[in-house]
Amino acid sequence: MSEILTKSRARNVFYGGSLFFIAIFVGLTVHSHRYVVDQSTAGMELSEQVVTGKHVWERHSCINCHTLHGEGAYFAPELGNVMTRWGVRDDPEMAWQMLDGWMKAQPSRIEGRRQMPFFELT
């Protein structure tokens, strides 16, 4: 077997590799489309709690410091998974107590420390 890569062999490697990666791309595109169609929550009705939370988020400009699923500023922690991190995802009352207690426990007036404003959230 020759160790020289001829023009025809190079062309075959190019076309074969190109077709292989095109097939991979098409397969991943189809998979992504099916996943989005089957898993997307974009068409769901928003509950009153979600609408209220969105209004609080906008009224207090939380996006200026926090990220929500990767969108927003990086000054403060990501909020998309905070209830999971705290272990209170399925317990709304405990989630409220954790959030309220955390906000009240934040030390104030410390030089160089990031400070979350205390909002009187209900």
What is the average pLDDT score of the chain?
A: 86
pLDDT 10s digits, 54-79? 898 898 888 888 888 888 888 888 88
Place of tokens 């075959």: 12
Per-domain boundaries in the chain: 1-42, 45-78, 82-109
* More confident site: 89 or 109: 89
β-bridge partners, 67: 72, 78
Distance CA(31)–CA(27), nearest Å, equals 6
